[in-house]
Amino acid sequence: MQHVARGWRIRQKLLLGVALFALLLGLGLSGTLMGLWSYYHTVSGVRGRLAELKSAEHLKSAVSRLVSPSLLLRMADAPDRMLQPLARAREAARDYRNDLDTPVEGDANHGIDKRLERELAGVIESDINDLAHALTLLMAPRLGGQADMSTNDPLRLAQAACEKLERDSRDLRDSIHEDLDERINASRRNYQLSLWLAIPACTVGLFALAGLLRAFYSWVFNPIRDLQEGVRRIAGGDLDHRLKIESGDEMQDLAVAFNSMMERLQSLYSDLNRQVADRSRQLVRSERLASVGYLAAGVAHEINNPLASIAFCAEALEARLRQAAGRIDVPEQREVFERYLHLIQEESFRCKGITEKLLAFSRGGEKTRENTDISRLAQSVLDGAQHLPVCRDKRMVLEAPSPVTAWANPEEIKQVVLNLVVNALESMDAGGTLTVKVKQEGDQAMIEVEDTGVGMDRATLENIFEPFFTKNRTGSGTGLGLTISHRIIQQHGGEIEAYSSGQGSGSTFTVRLPARAIETSRTTDSRPMPRLAA
């Protein structure tokens, strides 16, 4: 039954249950009604036959008195003594005939057929008339009349008439008794048939009712219980749990809708968690950047002048050393002096470059923006990077099917793209490929820098935009390039994100810039937070 009803709606299952219950109830009621009708039919028929039997017994009693042995023995000597019993028998026969002819309501409905009784009543009346005629013949000589010579012995005729009358009255009574017995037997058969119908019907009905209750428990109560347990489990915090109801009805539809709602809620919950984590990292980064900015401004201002003096003095000393080169007798010492002075100059200019970046980082002012062709800008960056030493034996590809414009400061965006390109080239070995993709996505311009370099692990991805964080293989990086790039993209109201499958899988940096002018704020919290792909 459960397999047949699978896929039915609850309304159809309820209709099936009601139909089965009505069928079982109908079987039980039919057996009961059949027994009651049989009882009513039998009682009504027996009641009518008992009334008829009473009249027949009265007739039989009158006939018995008429044909009593004492009267028969004295019939020849005193036939007149039989006239009074004969009159009573005739009156009883007439009363019985009248009772038969009187219509009784319900006789036809109860199957009472009185044709045989009417025939026997007519025969009894005929027998009484024959007996009366025989008695008349017997009394004729006594009354001075002449006997009918054409008739045989009147006494023998009277005796034969009495015997026939007694036999016919007995047949009448026996006929009524037989009909009563037949009715009682028929009632007994109907009663047994009703039992044979009612008992199996009740037994089958009980089993069917038990199966129906079990099916309804499986159809309705089990899904409700599973639904309740699943909702309670989800309410307890297990958001990954899903309702599994396969009833094929409204309960399953409700579970599917609830699971769909939970998937959307879980997605929203995960997105909110991610946003909270991003905002937390953004707040920490903003505090760090603010601290670094103040520190960078002070440090750069304080050490920039001494570094400039060191570099100037080193250059002047190198020039004087070259002028006095002829007066130095030992060439080895001259080479050592020149090497050390050159090293002082390189490191001084390197420190000066760091301080310049610190100053640029600390200032971070808004620059003039305009509609900028990002495709042409990327092409110019790649053209300039071809001459760098890190580009030797490496391939660079630009994929820009059509011009892509963004509302940006060309110099700052060029600085960002150049920084990403140089970092990618430094991360690749000879034979590597750098791919720069520029395309339009809705109201944003997208720049994607993909390399086949060493890749990044999760820890690197989480800290890639932190100040002074670097994984440069050459060891010459300051750790400020990506931080400054991140600041520039944020100030443009865009996003920058990094992605890598892991060590040795290469890296991809994606920059998104607004295609049209938007209102931006210098407050870091009001700008989109770059997402770190892991």
Q: Tell me: do 356 and 457 sit in the same domain.
A: no
pLDDT level of residue 533 (50, 70, 90 thresholds): very low
Closest CA to 341 of 321, 358, 324: 321
Last residue of a domain, one of 314, 337, 363: 363
User: Hey, which bits of 187-249 come out as E strands?
Assistant: none
Last residue of a domain, one of 340, 363, 386: 363
Sheet containing 495-499, strands listed edge to edge, beginning at the edge strand earlier in sequence: 395-399, 433-441, 444-451, 508-514, 495-499
Q: Tell me: do 312 and 393 sit in the same domain.
A: no
Contact (CB, 8 A) for 360 and 484: yes
Q: What integer pLDDT is reported at residue 334 of this predicted model? A: 66
204 domain residue, yes or no: yes
CA angle, residues 89, 93, 99, in degrees to nearest 5? 145
> In this structure, which amino acid lies at residue 101?
D
183 domain residue, yes or no: yes
Strands 433-441 and 395-399, sheet pairing: parallel
Structural domain boundaries enclosing 210: 10-225
Tokens matching residue 173: 């009574």
Q: Tell me: do 372 and 335 sit in the same domain.
A: no
205 domain residue, yes or no: yes
- Please say if the pLDDT value at position 534 is more than 50: no
| Among 157-161, 203-207, 477-481, 491-495, the range of highest mean pLDDT | 491-495
Per residue in 398-446, pLDDT (tens digit) is 998 888 999 999 999 999 999 999 999 999 999 999 999 999 998 999 9
4 domain residue, yes or no: no
Per residue in 353-376, pLDDT (tens digit) is 767 766 666 665 567 889 999 999
Residue count (the chain): 534
Q: Tell me: do 55 and 67 sit in the same domain.
A: yes
CA angle, residues 218, 221, 222, in degrees to nearest 5? 55
Give the helix ranges, DSSP H, for 217-249: 222-235
454 domain residue, yes or no: yes
CATH number at residue 442: 3.30.565.10
Q: What integer pLDDT is reported at residue 446 of this predicted model? A: 94
Count how many domains the chain has.
3
- Please say if the pLDDT value at position 532 is more than 50: no
User: How far apart, in whole angstroms, are the C-alpha atoms of residue 300 and residue 297?
Assistant: 5
235 domain residue, yes or no: no
Last residue of a domain, one of 329, 363, 397: 363
Query: Does the predicted model carry a pTM greater than 0.75?
Result: no
Contact (CB, 8 A) for 473 and 428: no
Closest CA to 211 of 15, 227, 219, 26: 219
- How many angstroms separate the most distant Cα atoms in the chain? 215
Per residue in 285-319, pLDDT (tens digit) is 666 666 666 566 666 656 666 667 777 777 777 77
Give Cα separations from 316 to 238, 313, 328, 376, 493 (angstroms).
Answer: 74, 5, 18, 43, 47
| Among 72-76, 147-151, 333-337, the range of highest mean pLDDT | 333-337
DSSP state string for 113-132: --HHHHHHHHHHHHHHHHHH
DSSP state string for 12-77: HHHHHHHHHHHHHHHHHHHHHHHHHHHHHHHHHHHHHHHHHHHHHHHHHHHHHHHT-HHHHHTTTT
Higher pLDDT, 17 or 385: 385
Least confident of 112-126, 175-189, 430-444: 112-126
Q: Tell me: do 266 and 159 sit in the same domain.
A: no
Least confident of 180-194, 314-328, 504-518: 314-328
Q: Tell me: do 156 and 106 sit in the same domain.
A: yes
Q: Tell me: do 497 and 452 sit in the same domain.
A: yes
Q: Tell me: do 482 and 337 sit in the same domain.
A: no
234 domain residue, yes or no: no
Q: Tell me: do 354 and 302 sit in the same domain.
A: yes
Per residue in 6-21, pLDDT (tens digit) is 556 777 777 877 787 7
231 domain residue, yes or no: no
Per residue in 218-256, pLDDT (tens digit) is 777 778 888 888 888 888 878 788 888 777 777 778 888
Q: Tell me: do 31 and 88 sit in the same domain.
A: yes
pLDDT level of residue 511 (50, 70, 90 thresholds): very high
Least confident of 176-185, 192-201, 275-284, 348-357: 348-357
Q: Tell me: do 295 and 432 sit in the same domain.
A: no
**Average pLDDT value over all residues in the chain:** 76
Q: Tell me: do 129 and 220 sit in the same domain.
A: yes
Other C-beta atoms closer than 10 Å to the C-beta of 188 total 12
* Residues 163-169, mean pLDDT to the nearest whole number: 80
